[in-house]
Amino acid sequence: MLYTSTRGEYGPLPAAEAIKLGIAPDSGLFVPTERVMMSMKDIQDMVGMSYQQRADKILGPYLTDFASNEIRCSIDHAYNANSFDHPEVAPLAELDTRLSVLELWHGPTCAFKDMALQILPHLLVTSMQKTGESAGILILVATSGDTGKAALEGFKDVPRTAIMVFYPEKGVSEVQKMQMVTQEGGNVGVYAVRGNFDDTQSGVKAIFGDVAMQQAVAECGYKFSSANSINWGRLAPQIVYYFSAYADLVRRGHVQFGEAVNFVVPTGNFGNILAGFYARQMGLPVHRLVCAANENNVLTDFIASGIYDRNRDFKRTISPSMDILISSNLERLLYELTGHDASKVRQWMADLAAKGRYTVDDSTREQIQALFWSDYADDAATMSSIKETHRRYGYVVDTHTAVGLHVYDLYRHSTGDDRPTVVLSTASPFKFNASVAKALLGEERTAGRDEFALLQMLSDFSGLPVPSGLSGLAERRIRHLTVADREQMPGAVLEFVKQRR
């Protein structure tokens, strides 16, 4: 299998090169040049398989330049009992016979980013070996919360890699901050940056693009790379859990083999739901992909109108991991739906860069509307969805999953479609416990309590244990105290690599 850029000016090249590069040098995203197909027999076979075996079956055809033991090894390092607190890795919780929740948060950081970031470091190191790369890889991450911690957990102590995470000093939750500053591992660095997320991100981008920095880092034996969601090595592992959920529904007798199901996906950067699109292209019986947004509903408008317009106010919501106005992975969908027309994609992306807006052609819009459906939940609807889900099913969800459940209700009312449906749950309720506790326990009982006290209250209320990644957080040793100005970031990078040459 070869990969090519959505902008048409780079590739084709093997998976190992695409994963090592992350983003294509023409600014496009790497996509597979051919369609991978799973036969009905393949899908039937998955019914009796473990998550790890299902992952092997899906990843194999995408990573044809990897030896089968290299793929196996990466899977075993990623999805095991040390890092996932559930033997099924991504278990399905049944709310009723027609509605299930796919829990993607049993990994070390309690959010779905772990599904990809636990395996990416192993795919990346294997890619380095396969391409004869002699340098070590230095991962730089600017984070507003979830990605930084998930990347730290994924890369910690992985040989020939080092990772530095920068977060805005006042821009993350108390739990997220404690998760990062207590990070263990011999190859990790965590830095607070004075400023907001944009300052942090532009600081990291400037370092990536600085030739003198690249040279200085190379002298210490390192090369920069990125772990963000545009790397194909993060997308491919996400396809697995769509197949896995379907196989589990068949195994439990909730779906007739071959019957189509809906997936509802709380969406920000369009990475998660795009993996569902690829699963459908590969032959998985999927009827509709429901794109659930919060008040930053640029995708809802796009799916309704074919016009992508980011010229609007950015809203801070209680589902912060979906507070995104530029959904980068959408570019891959456009490339696929236009029949790999890179010149169209280039034009739309140029419009986006210049005007913050583009309009797709009628055929692309109609294809999108046939497959996707979208609506959104504001914060008030999200809070009542948490409450209502608990009242109806005795099940506790986080704010992002609550957005998904609310939009699913809108979908059913609007279309009357009552096919079996899976809502993807992207975070543990404990990860965003301040809002969840407030929704379930009420304003009065939660007012004035810090996030750590609320963890315990939520545990007492729900009868669920606080996940190990979050318990005892307040007592853990703080290992990373550095606060830097944006201008000090390059110096911090140089100091970090010199210590590790």
Ligand X SMILES: *Cc1c(COP(=O)(O)O)cnc(C)c1O
Residues acting as catalytic residues: 113
Least spacing, CB of residue 457 vs ligand X, in Å: 21
Number of residues engaging ligand X in binding (CB under 6 A): 17
Minimum CB separation of residue 291 from ligand X in Å reads 9
Asked if residue 154 binds ligand X (CB under 6 A), the reply is no
Task: By CB under 6 A, tell whether 322 contacts ligand X.
Answer: yes
111, 204, 318, 383: which one binds ligand X (CB under 6 A)? 111
Minimal distance, residue 110 CB to ligand X, in Å? 9
Mask 418-457, x = binds ligand X (CB under 6 A)?
A: --------xx------------------------------
Please select the residue that binds ligand X; options are 83, 269, 300, 317, rule is CB under 6 A.
269
Q: Which of residues 383-412 bind ligand X (CB under 6 A)?
A: 400
Q: Cβ closer to ligand X: 115 or 484?
A: 115
- Single residue of 148, 203, 268, 469 touching ligand X by CB under 6 A: 268
- Spatial distance between the Cα atoms of 38 and 16, rounded to a whole number of angstroms: 22
Least separation in angstroms between residue 305's CB and ligand X is: 20
The H or E element that residue 264 is part of is strand 261-266
Q: Is 231 in the site for ligand X (CB under 6 A)?
A: no
Please state, in angstroms and as integers, the Cα–Cα distance from residue 385 to each residue in 91, 230, 396, 416, 429, following that order: 22, 31, 10, 20, 13
Backbone CA torsion sign across 470, 473, 477, 482: positive
Q: Name which of 458 and 497 has its Cβ closer to ligand X.
A: 458
Q: What type of residue is 147?
A: T
236 neighbors 59 (Cβ within 8 angstroms):
yes
CA distances from 281 to 182, 278, 375 (A): 42, 5, 23
Written as six digits, the tokens of 361 are: 């052609």
Q: CB nearer to ligand X: give 346 or 431.
A: 431
Neighbour count for residue 415 (Cβ, 10 Å): 13
3 near 127, Cβ under 8 Å? no
Alpha-carbon distance values, 387 to 265, 460, 464 (Å): 20, 16, 16
Q: Which residues contact 347 (CB under 8 A, 6 or more apart)?
A: 358
Q: Shortest gap between Cβ of 497 and ligand X (angstroms)?
A: 28
Under the criterion CB under 6 A, does residue 217 sit at the interface with ligand X?
A: no
Stretch touching ligand X by CB under 6 A, among 34-42, 63-71, 110-118, 358-366: 110-118
Residue 107 sits in the site that holds ligand X (CB under 6 A)? no
Hey, which residues does 262 pair with through a beta bridge? 421
Select the residue interacting with ligand X from 74, 100, 144, 272 (CB under 6 A): 272
129 CB neighbour count, 10 Å cutoff? 11
d(CA 204, CA 283): 39
Footprint of ligand X on residues 6-45 (CB under 6 A)?
none
Q: Which of 146, 295, 375, 451 binds ligand X (CB under 6 A)?
A: 146
Residues interacting with ligand X, by CB under 6 A?
111-113, 146, 229, 266-272, 321-322, 400, 426-427
